[in-house]
Structure 1
Amino acid sequence: QAQIVELQKQLEEVTRARDGFQTELEQAQKSNTELTENNRGLTANIDKLSRAQHEMLQRARRADEALRVLEGEKEAADRAQGSANTKLATQEKQLKTFLEANEALESDLRKQMQRVALLERRKLEQEAEQSTIEAYYQARLDEMQAQYDRLLSEIDDSKRAAQQEVYRAFDDNAKIVPPSPGGGRSPPGKAR
């Protein structure tokens, strides 16, 4: 009986611990939801940066095309010479402006690509952390559940053993008490 009481106390402790881990798991799942929302925000930022990157690439292509046009015009101006010298000076100034703009675009594009890579790394780190937390709490919960089930089984075994001890005296398979001498007949010389 004392063992059953002790096992029941252990069962209550394990149940409380299991409930605590269940609460922690729910908190981890809530944190997981928040991380998912953050990931959505990061994904939206990545999409915006990707669009900005695409626009910058298009602007860079247009700038390159403009440079090629200007270079063709410069060659034509060189062949024309004379009165074209003023025009050529203006075009050289425009070419320099386009080159500077192109360099600025490339620098901005590199920065945007670095930001995209950083956001991707953060997203992967958060997903890995989220998976680790969920796996840890699930493993602890499974362990506590197994301990809970084992204690229940031990309590059941103890109850069965106690019942067998109590009812052993009433076992139908016990040996029958042998009859008294004479097989239960009256002794000789006495009337029945």
Structure 2
Amino acid sequence: MKITKQTNGYILEGFHEVIGFEMEIDVLKCFLEQEDQILFSYIITNENDHFANTITELPLVIDDEEQEKRDLKFVEERTIFRNNEWLLPWHPYREISEILWYLPKNNLEIIKAMQINEFFTGIILKQNRDFNDYSYILVKVEDDEGVSLFILEQAADHFVNHVIPRLESLFQEPLYKDEM
């Protein structure tokens, strides 16, 4: 795994090497400061279909309508914000009606969020703050190399100075070489 700087953020390449939901949660926790929480997105399009997979070019297909209803109920019961604000530097391939930003209550619920949307979008936000006060946008994406974690930070250098050392400690290897 390695971290590379992009024009508009960072990429944790080789995220597919992270085995298991618990390890993915450990990675996400590296972004958390005191009183921070992670909110996951659930997108509703204008075509009246729900799709949680915002990154790939293929629509998410749910064969089980009852499971989709259970997933939506789970999301709605934990929703903190509702908006249609697209945060990513690329355009959505569908017109967005609404985005539900929801807060899992514990690790089991974070796993459930990852099961609802394997290629999740999440934000890191301090408790009781406005939506636009998020500190990070995290997006699990499929790319040419496998799976990566795309990272957008609000505060310049916070990721390099605070999160990368935690990630390197977690994986017990250097992940980033500043090439500037």
The bucket for the TM-score relative to the shorter chain is under 0.3
Kindly indicate which of the two structures has a greater share of residues assigned to helix.
1
TM-score w.r.t. length of structure 1: 0.15
Structure scoring higher RCO (CA < 8 A, sep ≥ 6) equals 1
